[in-house]
Amino acid sequence: MNVSVFGCGRWGSFITWYLSGNGCKVTEWGRKGSKSLAVLKENGGNEYVELRKGVTLTDDLGAAVKFADIAVVSIKSQALREFAKSAKIFGLDKIPVVLCMKGIEEDTGKRLTEVMIEEGYDKDRLAVWIGPGHIQEFTAGKPNCMVIDGYNKELVRSLADSLRSNLIRFYYGDDVIGSEVGAAAKNVMGIAAGILDGGGFKTLKGPLMARGAREVARLIKAMGGNELSAYGLCHLGDYETTLFSEFSNNRRYGEELYLGKKFTKLAEGVSTAKAMKLLGERYGVDLPITLAVYRIIYENAEPLGELLALFSRSAKTEFSE
């Protein structure tokens, strides 16, 4: 199978590493002038992976699309719409596209497959690849479980079966709304967890996990998805890697935000907090943790005080809406 991976950041390079070691012929694309692509070309790898022989690196978007039987897209979520427009010119909409990304369009509240559909892509050719796992652990041979979800059950099963290995066990997803929203929302919870770490309140990450999953479940249900998805691999199942791991960008962003340090890597939870605030207002869903993170990031609220205020709210039934 010929696969083109679009994106050469940490996840794009990992996907290339993984698929090329799993029997696929892989071309990896990066935009012209990309520093990440330049590093891969110069060193044959980056700080995360060493690329296998036979991998093709290119900044020619048309050539990458033409090569592919299947495309895997792993770029910044807020750049997806423009990428979709550019790649469609070369025929990306004619092949299956797998989004290995976790985010929501911040100005519209659109899920990432919705963005693709709005740009003229057939929903039956779209899938998402989500779930827990860090590159550093995968490359050290530590396995994990992930999910392939989408609108076309046959495509979902085909992708999950063909991409599985001893390193990644894939589950078939059956709730694309819940999978996408849950996968994006866990990054917001990761930022909150990092703030608690920085402030020395690690024990409050237990309540954060329980209440965070319930909060996201309410939103998924209101949007027409299955609220139980919030308790699966897309969200709660990804909490260990996002709320506790030293490798979590979102957790580290929150911790360094509290400590007054500047975090220079991508933390998708920043834009997702803004998008989820919009969705909460649109669907009439109370999202207290999300709103606290939003106020911290966008309104300069005092980080630890904003989160601790959540724990001083009046008592209510645990599983109430």
Q: What residues are annotated to the active site? A: 186
CA distances from residue 31 to 22, 59, 218 in whole angstroms, order as listed = 25, 5, 38
The one-letter code for the residue type at 164 is: R
Spatial separation of the C-alpha atoms in residues 276 and 268, rounded to whole Å: 12
Alpha helices in the chain (DSSP H): 10-20, 35-43, 61-67, 80-88, 112-118, 135-138, 153-163, 176-199, 205-222, 239, 249-259, 269-283, 288-298, 303-308
Classify residue 305 as exposed, middle or buried by CB count within 10 Å of its CB (0-12, 13-18, 19+).
exposed
**11-14 long-range contacts, Cβ below 8 Å, gap at least 24?**
11/74, 11/100, 11/101, 11/135, 12/36, 12/74, 12/75, 13/40, 13/45, 13/46, 13/48, 13/49, 13/51, 14/48, 14/49, 14/135, 14/138, 14/139
Nearest to 104 by CA among 220, 269, 319, 256: 269
Q: Are strands 56-58 and 25-29 parallel, antiparallel or unpaired?
A: parallel
